[in-house]
Amino acid sequence: MILMWASFVLLTLLAIAFVALPFLTKERIQNLTYNANSELIAIYEQRLGELSLDLAEQRIEQQSYDESIIELKCRLLNELSPEKSLFSRGNNRIFALTGSAFLVVLTLIFYTATGSQHQLESWKAAMENLPEYGERAVMQKGEPLTQNELQAFALGLRTKLAQSGDDEVAWMLLGRVAMSLNEYDMAQQSFDKVLRLNPENLAVLISYSQLMLLQGDDVSMNKAAQMLSRVLKDEPANLDAISLLALIAYERHDWLEAKAAFEMLLNSMDEQDSRYNMIAQRIAEIDQNIAAKNTQITPVEKSFAAGTETSNISVTIELAPQLIANLPEKGTLFVFAKAASGPAMPLAVVKLTQYSFPLQVQLSDNNSMVEGLTLSSTEQIILTARISKDASVMPSSGELEGKSGILQRSETSEYTLLIDELIP
């Protein structure tokens, strides 16, 4: 900061010198011009006396005298500097001071209008509050950090890393803060930096795995699974790693591995834990999926047995105007149908990352997630549209959702679904 302000002052002085020096330099030249003019006038008067003497002694004629006088005057006028330069000493200083003052005022106005003083103040505040942000984020002291405070915390961490070099803890915190801000590239670069410093940092391996899960593609899933395997090799009872492996297996529809992981989590929890019932429901859902998979009933066989054709429902999705402000910046839209009573697993799902409202999607047996659980396999269904913040089908606080009532599938070919609820 001191270096920056010193640079500002130096640049201002250089600009003032650039404006003022031409006036001051001209003043010295004008003083020399005054002396030169005096000498030229003296020579002129001496030559004029000589011509007058020649005329009086009749060494020249009157016509030659007159012509010489005119030539002498013209030469003097050509060699003299302007007369006003003889009296301009004080004005140059005034011009130099006025120009310098104008330059300083103009610079201040321009910097006030276009400068980054507000950003500098925010940066200074972030550096002053960095210890407090660290306590609230890591030690869970006080209120959780707001979005603006998270951004200030990230700015302070980047500044600290630029000043202090390789700090493993600071890089790890920056990665976690970047994840909270959905700055996934920054988070990945931060975690990579930590693992280069300490490849066996288990906490970062778990956080990195969470980041890979958010990306959701097969390559990221495989990378996350490898990292979690490294964690469980050193800490077989690490619940965070087990829960993430359970989610990966669930997303891959590897029901047996997912059930084993969730059961391990359930056995480690007390029944009073708020997550206990949710995990128990997830295990029951997985059991239903395993049972459905074991029946090996294809969608065509199921439709034929029921005496119906493959179902196809055109769903028009609209967003309530009062929820436009709550729309996530990078949300994922899930449109799915579930049985009104029976398995909690969706019968048909459409996932969109690029969308605008209103839009229309088609739900059919081709959108089923599990073989045997199709749209045409159930008569009473419920349609749901949810905008997820974390690309997961599981609902979470702050997401937007809309549901239909119980519909008769065979009587429903088109339906307009309004997203009008903010999940608390």
Q: What's the CATH code of the domain at 258?
A: 1.25.40.10
Buried-state track 223-262, b at ≥16 Cβ within 10 A, e below 16: bbbebbeebeeeeeebebbbbbbbbbbbeeeebeebbbbb
Reading the chain (424 residues) residue by residue, the pLDDT tens digits are 566 556 667 777 777 676 666 666 644 444 445 566 778 788 888 888 888 888 888 888 888 888 888 888 888 778 765 544 444 444 566 766 776 777 777 777 766 656 555 555 554 555 555 555 555 555 556 566 666 666 777 777 777 777 776 777 777 787 787 877 778 888 888 888 888 888 888 888 888 888 888 777 778 888 888 888 888 777 877 888 888 888 888 887 878 778 878 888 888 877 777 778 888 888 888 888 777 766 544 444 444 344 444 578 999 999 998 998 888 888 889 899 988 876 566 788 888 888 888 899 999 888 776 555 788 888 889 999 999 887 766 677 888 999 999 999 888 889 999 999 998 8
pLDDT score of 297: 45
Amino acid code (one letter) for 332: T
**Number of domains the chain contains:** 3
One domain for residues 134 and 276: yes
The residue among 235, 264, 293 that closes a domain is 293
- The pTM score is 0.43
One domain for residues 131 and 265: yes
One domain for residues 58 and 17: yes
Instruction: Please check whether residue 220 is in contact with residue 245, taking contact to mean a CB–CB distance below 8 angstroms.
Output: no
One domain for residues 100 and 131: no
Torsion of CA 161, 163, 164, 166, to 10 degrees: 40
One domain for residues 165 and 197: yes
DSSP string, 56-101: HTTSS-HHHHHHHHHHHHHHHHHHSPPGGGGG-HHHHHHHHHHHHH
pLDDT score of 134: 56
For the stretch 146-186, pLDDT in tens is 666 667 777 777 777 777 767 777 777 877 878 777 788 88
One domain for residues 162 and 287: yes
One domain for residues 131 and 78: no
Helix (H, G, I), strand (E, B) or coil at 332: strand
One domain for residues 148 and 198: yes
One domain for residues 167 and 103: no
The residue among 68, 95, 115 that closes a domain is 115
One domain for residues 212 and 283: yes
One domain for residues 147 and 262: yes
The residue among 100, 115, 130 that closes a domain is 115
- Which domain, by its residues, includes 343? 300-422
Q: How far is CA 137 from the centre of its chain?
A: 20
One domain for residues 204 and 130: yes
